[in-house]
């Protein structure tokens, strides 16, 4: 780890709390059952019936589902209910593979564009047996009941834990410390490391305690308990345990394997599927980009090992949070669709599907992802904020023509607030009402905006918690949505489509306040005022302060760019000058936009298989700003840097 944080990275970075906190909801969602203790009673009864400590049963369930039932829908790894009982994987496996559903060039470099992804990797349905059938055998309950009834599902999970304890030759002890081996077996991990990481996380939940209201309005409490588990009981599982590959760059607290992406010369000047580099000696790593795979785990690993496809640094498995690393972090992956961002980022793919809101990510995956990001952030001095931890959907198109084809994962159902709480950097107020900025922060579980297009064009998505707030042209829910001329060229209107980011702000993003009126707040967004519902009694944002940019005196507009490339004079002989063309957005000079970081302009010239000829060209400085749902760049020479609380004075 390097020394003090570089000064330009301090711009706009809020001071984060040192410890993660559990996220609690304030009450059940509309229409919830009146008996909000029924699920707690089900855990208690199942624990007694199967002689499993209640804290163990609650801890395992929390790590799988945070006690949510997801209305009987399956997770991305085919798990059902609070205990994530796994069944045959069918419908989800029929989704399209990642990077195959749009026009985005994942490398994002017009000097060496990639051919469109082939269709050869379409995922096929598989029939993989899971734990639900075994739970049915043990309990005598019908599989349909185990899928759809939360109480039955908990019963099945308790029976599985009790059976695992018997299989290990261990007694049904009342002491949670004696159940480590059975807990390690529960997630079905294929290595000792992955099984033990899962068990360690369960016992960490038991030690810390948790409390929340579930998606069905059930209040569940796990009282903290000081337990020192007998970790030796996991040895009887007989799972393989191999020494870590020396190439692995993961914290010791996660299960991680080395599964390299191929670097191959394909002939004719073509090569794949990444670039060898020497970061951070050659370039600083500024970003971590969060993706979802839009494919099952098996297909994801198949794709990244294809030299004719694209690449990313890490993949994360939903069932247990296991991680596969594919590229050294010093090398450049082809994943974000913007070469400037690719050259300065690390890409993480999470097993999941954007348009299947109930194909939920497990808590196990959220937690191991957060540990990995914390590790990478410490290693590369990356601030833990939403200006540096980007979703793929926050990455800007490099030019105006490329904006509509940019990808939109991980989408509105990724729980950014919970993720940042796990990172130890929860979103929180950093100023009073006159701070000049707001941090978007809806209560995920209770915030269920309408989305369409999950199961086909125009179809309504199932109501679901979301990190996104809708933006209107006036302070009214009946007002039209704000327009995004980049994603909708030709004057098309923004929509409620799950893949339409044109009128959306997401948890953790910071914007300059333009106006407040009653229960509504307006922010500067894509060159216009954008209003979102933000009532004082139930805020969907936190007040904040930080650096902003406005246009220079006398200027009419602020030119904005999709990449921070150098000016022509910065290029040495032999390196073709890359075009620096403003995007089509018209941003009046008197508006203000939150600053994420200051960065020198850079172009990483990498068009040959032999990295010896690669070069980095640097020029004048840019600021990264929160332009709309996506970030953008402005030349430092074109703007004035101001502290947000001085706006309007």
Tell me the domain boundaries of the chain: 7-16+91-125+247-550, 38-89+128-237
Mean pLDDT of 321-344: 97
Q: Which two tokens stand for residue 645?
A: 């609380």
Question: What b-and-e string marks burial along 19-32, b requiring 16 or more CB atoms within 10 Å of the CB?
Answer: ebebbebeebbeee
What pLDDT score does 92 carry? 46
Question: What b-and-e string marks burial along 573-589, b requiring 16 or more CB atoms within 10 Å of the CB?
Answer: eeeeebebebbebebeb
What pLDDT score does 333 carry? 98
Report the DSSP pairing between strands 345-350 and 287-292: parallel
Q: Is 457 helix (H, G, I), strand (E, B) or coil?
A: coil
Distance CA 287, CA 282 (A): 15
Distance CA 323, CA 349 (A): 10
The answer to whether 142 and 122 have CB atoms below 8 angstroms apart is no
Question: Cβ neighbours of residue 620 under 8 Å, at least 6 residues apart?
Answer: 566, 567, 570, 600, 601, 635, 636, 637
- Reported as a pLDDT band with limits 50, 70 and 90, residue 35 is confident
HSE at residue 78, side-chain half, CA atoms within 13 A, is 22
CATH architecture of 38-89+128-237: Orthogonal Bundle (1.10)
Q: Which two tokens stand for residue 183?
A: 């807990």
Q: Residue 522 forms beta bridges with which residues?
A: 515, 531
What is residue 548's DSSP assignment?
A: E
Q: pLDDT tens for residues 246-284?
A: 999 999 999 999 999 999 999 988 999 999 999 999 999
Dihedral sign of CA atoms 331, 336, 341, 347 in order: negative
Q: Which of 468, 488, 635 is nearest to 562 (CA)?
A: 635
Dihedral sign of CA atoms 603, 608, 609, 615 in order: negative
What pLDDT score does 89 carry? 52
Residue 540 in this model has a pLDDT that exceeds 60: yes
Distance CA 69, CA 161 (A): 19
Mean pLDDT of 240-249: 93
Distance CA 528, CA 512 (A): 12
In terms of C-beta density within 10 A (0-12 exposed, 13-18 middle, 19 or more buried), how is residue 253 classed?
middle
Q: pTM of the predicted model, to two decimals?
A: 0.92
The answer to whether 372 and 382 have CB atoms below 8 angstroms apart is no
- Domain 7-16+91-125+247-550: give its CATH superfamily: Peptidoglycan recognition protein-like (3.40.80.10)
Report the DSSP pairing between strands 528-533 and 520-525: antiparallel
Residue 93 in this model has a pLDDT that exceeds 70: no
Q: pLDDT tens for residues 119-166?
A: 444 444 444 568 999 999 999 999 999 999 999 999 999 999 999 999
Mean of all residue pLDDT scores within the chain: 90
């Amino acid at each position: 780890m390097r020394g003090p944080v570089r000064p330009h990275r301090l711009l706009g970075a809020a001071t984060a709390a040192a410890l993660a906190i559990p996220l609690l909801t304030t009450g059940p969602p509309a229409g919830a059952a009146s008996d909000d203790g029924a699920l707690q009673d089900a855990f208690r009864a199942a624990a007694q019936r199967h002689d499993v400590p209640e804290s163990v049963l609650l801890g395992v369930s929390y790590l799988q589902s945070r006690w949510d039932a997801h209305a009987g829908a399956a997770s991305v790894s085919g798990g059902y209910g609070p205990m994530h009982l796994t069944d045959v994987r069918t419908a989800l496996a029929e989704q399209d593979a990642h990077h195959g559903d749009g026009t985005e060039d994942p490398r994002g470099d017009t000097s060496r564009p990639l051919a469109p992804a082939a269709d050869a990797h379409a995922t096929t349905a598989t029939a993989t047996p899971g734990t639900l059938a075994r739970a049915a055998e043990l309990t005598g309950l019908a599989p349909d009941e185990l899928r759809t009834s939360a109480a039955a599902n908990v019963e099945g999970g308790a029976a599985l834990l009790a059976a695992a304890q018997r299989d290990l030759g261990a007694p049904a002890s009342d002491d949670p410390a004696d159940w480590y081996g059975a807990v390690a077996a529960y997630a079905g991990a294929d290595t000792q490391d992955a099984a033990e990481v899962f068990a360690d996380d369960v016992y960490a939940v038991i030690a810390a305690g948790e409390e929340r209201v579930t998606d069905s309005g059930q209040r569940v409490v796990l009282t903290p308990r000081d337990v020192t588990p007998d970790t030796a009981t996991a040895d009887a599982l007989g799972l393989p345990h191999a020494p870590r590959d020396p190439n692995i760059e993961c914290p010791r607290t996660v299960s991680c394997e080395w599964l390299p992406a191929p670097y191959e010369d394909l002939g004719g000047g073509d090569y794949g599927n990444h670039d060898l580099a020497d970061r951070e000696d050659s370039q600083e790593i500024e970003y971590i980009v969060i993706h979802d795979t839009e494919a099952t785990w098996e297909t994801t690993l198949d794709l990244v090992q294809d030299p004719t496809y694209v690449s990313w640094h890490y993949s994360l498995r939903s069932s247990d949070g296991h991680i596969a690393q594919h590229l050294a972090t010093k090398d450049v992956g082809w994943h974000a669709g913007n070469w400037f961002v690719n050259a300065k980022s690390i890409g993480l793919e999470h097993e999941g599907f954007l348009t299947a809101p109930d194909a939920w990510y497990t808590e196990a995956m959220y937690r191991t992802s957060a540990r990995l990001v914390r590790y990478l952030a410490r290693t590369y001095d990356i601030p833990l904020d939403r200006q540096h931890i980007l979703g793929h959907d926050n990455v800007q198109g490099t030019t105006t023509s490329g904006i509509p084809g940019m990808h939109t994962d991980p989408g509105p159902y990724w729980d950014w607030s919970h993720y940042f709480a796990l990172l130890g950097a929860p979103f929180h107020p950093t100023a009073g009402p006159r701070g000049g900025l707001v941090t978007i922060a809806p209560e995920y579980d209770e915030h269920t905006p309408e989305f369409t297009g999950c199961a086909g064009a125009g179809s309504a998505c199932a109501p679901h918690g979301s990190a996104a707030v809708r933006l209107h042209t006036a302070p009214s829910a009946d007002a039209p949505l704000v327009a995004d001329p980049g994603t909708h060229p030709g004057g098309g209107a923004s929509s409620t489509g799950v893949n339409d980011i044109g009128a959306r702000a997401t948890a953790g993003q910071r914007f300059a306040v333009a106006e407040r009126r009653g229960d509504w707040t307006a922010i500067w967004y894509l060159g216009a005022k954008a209003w979102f519902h933000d009532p004082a009694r139930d805020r969907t944002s936190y007040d904040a302060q930080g650096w902003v940019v406005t246009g220079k005196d006398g200027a009419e507009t602020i030119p904005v760019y999709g990449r921070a490339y150098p000016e022509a004079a910065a290029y040495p002989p032999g390196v073709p000058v890359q075009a620096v063309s403003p995007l089509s957005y018209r941003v009046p000079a008197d508006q203000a936009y939150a600053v994420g970081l200051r960065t020198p302009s850079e172009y990483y010239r990498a068009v040959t298989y032999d990295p010896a000829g690669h070069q980095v060209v640097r020029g004048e400085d840019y600021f990264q700003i929160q332009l709309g749902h996506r970030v953008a760049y402005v030349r430092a020479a074109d703007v004035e840097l101001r502290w947000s609380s001085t706006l309007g004075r």
